[in-house]
Amino acid sequence: MVFILIIMLISLVVICFYLLRKQKKIQNEAYHLIEQSKKEVALSLQKERNRLEQESEKTMQGLLEDHSMTVVGIQENYEKKLSKQKDYINFLQRSLKCPKDAATYRVLKDIKKLCLNEQLIQEEDMLIIGNIFLPYYTINGENKIKQLSHVLLLPTGIYLIESKYWEGRVYHGLTRELSHPLDFLFDIFHEEELKDGEHTFILSRKKGSDVSGEFKNTLNIELQMNIGRELCDLAKELERSLFDLDSSQVVPILYFDSPKDDHRIRNYSERDLPQVCIGPKDLNLFIRKELQSQEWLLSAAELKEVKQRLENLYYFA
């Protein structure tokens, strides 16, 4: 009986020892599996991270290239527009150095001298600004620059003067609606814009030879469309820039003169603005009338300030 118990006890010890060995082995295998899984997961994460970094780098490189191309394109476009604008300004500056602008300036200086002699004004009450370029925007939003011969600053307001010196016979202010002996001129041109507005026709004689070599006189007809309306638009642009000035202070003047005879110019315009002056005498009478009949709104100090503001706003040659 004792022997059997001893055998059973020994058997139990052996079984416990075996089970402990088995459990330890299973634990070791489980530990190795866990470590191996960790390594595999870490390796997979590293590979995925590397792949994402590579893709991100490629994407960023592509975006940078696209951005660089966009920046280069914008810069090239800007430089082209800037160059074009500078060329246009240079062209206008060259065009200002012509006899007609010097002639208008002399007329204005003579008018000022007469007004000073008659004590209508003081020296600082009339400022003449020549060679002015007014920037403005078209209906399409395009930025352009318009050359004006002169800007005259008086106590009665600001006067934009556009000078026109054309040889031949000039007929200004003609319309489709107005019946006149020159209706046939509208049949020569078929521009759609001729339906609206007032237009200017210049008729001049030119000498030339035909195919046979014989010299003949020919009639040249030039059309200028809506020059008055464009000048009024520029006056409104100036009013917006000098927003604190009353609109009645900015007056557009279309000044015609002829190298030969003022009687060659006819004004058929029925509009109040722009003010049309033909020849030095007409311009002198208008300025004197303004000084004598209109309210003086600007002091000498204010005129000087307006001149400075104009110089800050616009281009001068």
What per-residue confidence (pLDDT) applies to 299? 92
The residues of the chain scoring below 70 in pLDDT are 1, 30-31, 33-34, 37-38, 40-42, 44-45, 63-64, 66-69, 71, 84-100, 135-144, 179, 190-193, 208-213, 215, 243-248, 261-262, 313-317
What per-residue confidence (pLDDT) applies to 308? 85
Report the alpha-carbon distance of residue 65 to residue 75 in Å, rounded.
15
How far CA 113 is from CA of 104, 117, 183, 215, 298, in Å, comes to: 14, 6, 42, 47, 20
Tokens of 133: 């370029």
- Residues 167, 99: contact at Cβ < 8 Å? no
What per-residue confidence (pLDDT) applies to 51? 77
| Residue entry with tokens 């994460």 | 45
Question: What is the helix (H) or strand (E) element at residue 141, kind and residue range?
Answer: none
Q: What is the DSSP letter of 97?
A: S
Report the alpha-carbon distance of residue 145 to residue 167 in Å, rounded.
26
100: nearest Cα among 60, 61, 130, 120: 130
Q: What is the DSSP letter of 196?
A: S
How far CA 45 is from CA of 38, 40, 41, 50, in Å, comes to: 10, 9, 6, 8
CB atoms within 10 A of CB 284: 17
Report the alpha-carbon distance of residue 77 to residue 288 in Å, rounded.
49
Report the alpha-carbon distance of residue 109 to residue 102 in Å, rounded.
10
- Residues 228, 271: contact at Cβ < 8 Å? yes
Long-range contacts of 240-249 (CB under 8 A, 24+ apart): 241/313, 242/158, 242/306, 242/309, 245/158, 245/306, 246/297, 248/157, 249/156, 249/157, 249/158, 249/297, 249/298
What per-residue confidence (pLDDT) applies to 13? 72
| Residue 57 φ then ψ, to 5° | -65, -40
Q: Give the chain's length.
A: 317
